[in-house]
Amino acid sequence: MKISSHAVARMLGTWQEGPRPAHQRLSDRLRLLVLDGRLSLGAALPSERDLATALGTSRTTVGTAYRTLVDHGYLATKARARATVRLPHDTPSERRVSTDSATIDLSIAAPPAPVEILHAAFAAALEQLPRHFERHGYDRYGTAELREAVAEWYQRRGLPTAPDHIMITNGAQHAIGLLARTLLAPRDKVLIDHPTYPHAIRTFTEARALPLPVAVGPSGWDTAQLQAAARAAQLAYLIPDFHNPTGLCMSAGARRQLRLACLAIIDETMTDLALDGEKPEPCAVHMPAAVSVGSVSKSIWGGLRTGWIRAVPSLLERLDQARPATDLGTPVIEQLATAVLLNERQTERSDTPQQLRSQRDALRQSLTEYLPDVHAPQPAGGITLWATFREPISSRLAAIAPDYGVTIAAGPRFGIGGAFERHIRLPYTLPSSQLAEAVRRLAQAQLALTQGATGTHTPAPVA
């Protein structure tokens, strides 16, 4: 894939500031973009001349930076072709993705499974499974049991929903991908929260759509800005319920006011995880045309890979036509187990928020102790803190952190154009003692950074 000089310039952000020679700052920043996955392996970089023009710097600076990257194994060159991104051969695989069991993984925001509850749900599902044996088992809309259970989940939240408004998917990410493939044409604009869930950004850019970011600030969403941006967009993707990564929840007033000129996908993956206060009202109560996506990945377990789309039947028909290009349905046993879980209201158990609340508070306490300069507001729900450093160190910290036994997701992965270099996302899905140890290790990594250390790790996957 060719990357334009302007796209690289946007990703580089403010690389020009700093004491070291410009070519070194540029090669360091490009290397971090490779390690962080924002410049993907095999991507073809712009020519030296084009990048120099886009950056307003000399061709010698870009040429020297490219040569440094070639020497260190991060770029491959061939005569008369663009330089392509690669990784050094001598990077031992265990340094690329941390598989060390002693490493604390803060890059994935997802809880462990509630073991006994899952056991019981699968036991019940196994008993029901023979009912499905007479049919072929391919069902692109999902089983009647789960479509009914999801429709009930919406009814309980005050949104009248019939099973024929529901399509079952392999998790919410699959739902977003299916919607993007069906609804977007190249160069369409997609309004997104900024920051937002990284895999959604990737889904939209891979559909060759153009993200149109609207800031989610410390106090949340600005409905006037959203409405103005929606007039220029073909699609909107919003996470109003305990937003990933900030944990913010759109106010009831904003929900009532919000009217978007384009079709909106409302991601409700975190809805059941209200930690302080009530669960929010579904946005679709006020925006009847909105498409909602959800899953049990955060309220029960990501390994179930079960999610859904709530939409008008005519849109579900279009999705049904598009779906076979990538998959032919969701496994029946997982659907039956998920239906049991929803019918028993296991996603709404009170012990889940209780535990998350205590882990959230422990994580914030550890930050105060070990990283007192970091600002991490208390989120109303969800599973992550959005922490801000004083300096733009996020990518460098993510690259060095595995050397200190912890992996994190760097802030710029949650945005576009190199934004959020002062932020990191910290999930509180691990036990409090591990969270405290992880923060202590992060503090060591930050200290090493200030003393000039650099890291070579490729990013851990985020979720």
Ligand X SMILES: Cc1ncc(COP(=O)(O)O)c(C=O)c1O
Q: Return residues touching ligand X (CB under 6 A).
A: 109, 171-173, 197, 239, 244, 267, 269, 295, 297, 302, 307, 463
Q: Give the strands of the sheet with 166-169, arranged side by side.
A: 166-169, 307-310, 291-295, 263-267, 235-238, 189-194, 210-215
Residue number with CB closer to ligand X (230 or 383): 383
In the complex, residue closest to ligand X by CB: 171
- Residue 241: CB minimum distance to ligand X, A: 9
Rounded to a whole number of angstroms, the minimum distance from the CB of residue 74 to ligand X is: 29
CA angle 417, 421, 426 (to 5 degrees): 120
**How near is the Cβ of 182 to ligand X at its closest, in Å?**
17
- Nearest approach, Cβ of residue 42 and ligand X (Å): 25
Task: Compare residues 51 and 463 and give the one whose CB is closer to ligand X.
Answer: 463
Is 46 or 307 the residue whose CB approaches ligand X more closely? 307
Nearer to ligand X, 258 or 300 (CB): 300
Contact 83, 45 (CB under 8 A): yes
* DSSP bridge partners of 214: 193
- 377 in Cβ contact with 383 (< 8 Å): no
Q: Mention every residue, 6+ apart, whose C-beta is less than 8 A from residue 189.
A: 209, 210, 211, 212, 232, 233, 234, 235
DSSP state letter for 381: B
Q: Based on CB atoms, which residue is closest to ligand X, 83 or 266?
A: 266
- 309, 307, 262, 267: which is closest to 289 by C-alpha? 262
Structure tokens at 195: 């920051």
Instruction: Map 108-155 to HEC letters.
Output: CCCCCCCHHHHHHHHHHHHHHHHHHCCCCCCCCCCCHHHHHHHHHHHH
Q: How many helices (H) and strands (E) does the chain have?
A: 16, 13
Residue type present at position 299? S
Between 201 and 226, whose beta carbon lies closer to ligand X? 201
Quote the CA–CA distance of 188 and 180 in Å, as a whole number.
10
Where on the phi/psi map is residue 220: left (φ > 0), alpha (ψ -120 to 50), or beta?
left
**Other CB atoms within 10 Å distance of the CB of residue 217:** 12
List, edge to edge, every strand of the sheet that includes 384-388: 104-106, 406-410, 423-427, 384-388
| Cβ neighbours of 56 (radius 10 Å) | 8
9 versus 460: smaller Cβ distance to ligand X: 460
Sign of dihedral through CA atoms 335, 338, 344, 347?
Answer: negative
By beta-carbon proximity to ligand X, the closer residue of 51 and 270 is 270
- Rounded to a whole number of angstroms, the minimum distance from the CB of residue 309 to ligand X is 12
Indicate the residue among 31 and 194 with the shorter CB distance to ligand X.
194
Residue closer to ligand X (CB basis): 405 or 427? 427
Nearest to 428 by CA among 373, 381, 389: 381
Task: State the nearest-atom distance from the C-beta of 255 to ligand X, in Å.
Answer: 17
CB of 301 or CB of 389, closer to ligand X: 301
State the nearest-atom distance from the C-beta of 287 to ligand X, in Å.
18
- CA gap 179, 190 in Å, rounded: 12
Q: Tokens for 409, please give them.
A: 């997701």
